[in-house]
Amino acid sequence: MSGLAPVILSTVLAGASSLQGMKQAKVQSRAATAQARIQLAAMEEQRRVTTRDEKRDLKRRLATQRARFGASGLLSSNSADAVLDGFRAESERRQNDDNRSYGLGLDTVNQRLSTARNGSSLAASTAILKGLQRL
């Protein structure tokens, strides 16, 4: 029976080591997920604020320009409409740029999260293999 004791002890230690590595990988994965959620929430808040500010700025610019046109008697001319349409188009371009930037940011966060999860899975697999190698 004494010949089995070292084998049993080695098996138990290998199992404990594997378990420890798996737990550590799970903790790292959860931390990466939490960090990604924080980052996504901040990005969404920034997007919301930017959209609100852009709409507010467009309204202000249109009202200011309409007042100028009204003061000069050009309120309903084609050139006045063209200027106002230009303001709208410029605002829309900025919104589209912001949306593209937001999309790229989402891709980046998702890629980092995927990399972290894959790294955690690799760490767990490595811990299991190291535990098996001790046998």
pLDDT at residue number 132: 52
Q: DSSP string covering 38-54, please? A: HHHHHHHHHHHHHHHHH
Asked if pLDDT for residue 84 goes beyond 90, the answer is yes
Domain ranges of the chain: 4-133
Return the C-alpha torsion angle 34, 36, 37, 41, nearest 10: 140
Return the C-alpha torsion angle 27, 31, 33, 34, nearest 10: 130
The dihedral sign for the CA sequence 20, 22, 24, 27: negative
**Token pair recorded at residue 131:** 């535990």
Percentage of the chain exceeding pLDDT 70: 70
pLDDT at residue number 90: 96
d(C-alpha 73, C-alpha 12), whole Å: 91
Size of the chain, expressed as the number of residues it contains: 135
47-56, 72-81, 84-93, range with the lowest pLDDT = 72-81
Asked if pLDDT for residue 105 goes beyond 80, the answer is yes
pTM for the model: 0.62
pLDDT at residue number 14: 62
Tell me the mean pLDDT in the region 23-35.
Answer: 81
Q: Are 127 and 18 in contact (CB under 8 A)?
A: yes
The larger pLDDT score, comparing residue 134 to residue 106, is at 106
pLDDT at residue number 16: 62
Q: How far apart are the first and last CA of the chain?
A: 18
The larger pLDDT score, comparing residue 27 to residue 16, is at 27
pLDDT at residue number 17: 62
pLDDT at residue number 29: 78
d(C-alpha 132, C-alpha 16), whole Å: 11
